[in-house]
């Protein structure tokens, strides 16, 4: 494999912008993006980002697969990737992954990543959490996945909503060992304004 590949899943939780931001940040890098979008995510897109067309999403991705295409390349462990980011990850998708229910291409691709011992990062979106959510997070963690909720870093002097989205997604991509040049880093770009006592 001459070029690294990553799978980007977008599920139906609120936060369609997280998936788009992941593709935007990855676009300048030498990494192929293979994208699968759930049916519910298309509904969310219509509410949250009606100005973003499928054509625009396709222009950001190297390959987009239909969620019911269970025979797609990303459904096989022989198709090498550095892993999969699901941004955002709904509680329904989390539950399916936790229970090994490969009922569509999104959850099958995640299952493949886990079975091949690759990196799976879930930007889970729900609050408050019930016990089923917590147990499903525990199950995925025990399988080797990483639960990475999009939590804003207020120390970066946020100026707009895009700053919050960018920081959360860049930190998630960090977990794949990817260097996102625009990510402000504590101790490098960001410092306390006072000396410690």
pLDDT in tens, 61-88: 999 999 999 999 999 999 999 999 999 9
Q: Residue 195: pLDDT above 80?
A: no
pLDDT at 191: 58
Domain containing 139 equals: 4-175
**Of the given ranges (22-31, 73-82, 92-101, 178-187), which has the lowest mean pLDDT?**
178-187
Q: 104 with 70: CB under 8 angstroms?
A: yes
Q: Residue 12: pLDDT above 90?
A: yes
Over residues 134-155, the mean pLDDT reads 95
Rounded to two decimals, the pTM is 0.93
Collapsing DSSP to helix, strand or coil, 89 comes out as: strand
* pLDDT, mean over the chain: 93
Bind-site residues: 12-14, 38, 90-93, 125, 155, 171
Per-residue CA distances from 84 to 46, 128, 138 (Å): 24, 25, 18
CA atoms within 13 A on the CB side of 147: 21
Residue 107 lies in a domain: yes
Which H helix or E strand runs over 133?
A: helix 131-142
The CATH number for 56's domain is: 3.40.50.1950
Bind-site residues for dimethylallyl phosphate: 155, 171
Q: How many domains does the chain have?
A: 1
Residue 142 lies in a domain: yes
Residue 181 lies in a domain: no
Q: 80 with 51: CB under 8 angstroms?
A: no
**Of the given ranges (10-14, 160-164, 180-184), which has the lowest mean pLDDT?**
180-184
Give me the count of residues in the chain.
Answer: 197
Bind-site residues for FMN: 12-14, 38, 90-93, 125
């Amino acid at each position: 494999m001459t070029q690294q590949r990553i799978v980007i899943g977008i599920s139906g939780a609120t936060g369609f912008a997280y998936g788009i931001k992941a593709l935007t940040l990855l676009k300048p890098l030498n990494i192929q993006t293979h994208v699968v979008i759930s049916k519910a995510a298309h509904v969310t897109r219509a509410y949250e980002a009606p100005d973003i067309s499928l054509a625009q999403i396709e222009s950001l991705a190297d390959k987009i697969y239909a969620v019911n295409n269970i025979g797609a390349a990303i459904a096989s462990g022989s198709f090498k990737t550095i892993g999969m980011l699901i941004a955002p990850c709904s509680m329904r998708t989390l539950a399916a992954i936790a229970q090994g229910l490969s009922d569509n291409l999104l959850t099958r691709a995640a299952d493949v990543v886990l079975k091949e011992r690759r990196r799976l990062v879930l930007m889970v979106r729900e609050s408050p959490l019930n016990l089923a959510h917590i147990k499903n997070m525990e199950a995925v963690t025990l399988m080797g996945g990483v639960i990475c909720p999009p939590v804003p870093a207020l120390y970066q002097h946020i100026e707009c909503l895009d700053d919050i989205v960018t920081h959360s997604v860049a930190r998630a991509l960090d977990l794949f060992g990817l260097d996102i040049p625009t990510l402000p880093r504590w101790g490098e770009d960001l410092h306390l304004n006072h000396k410690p006592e």
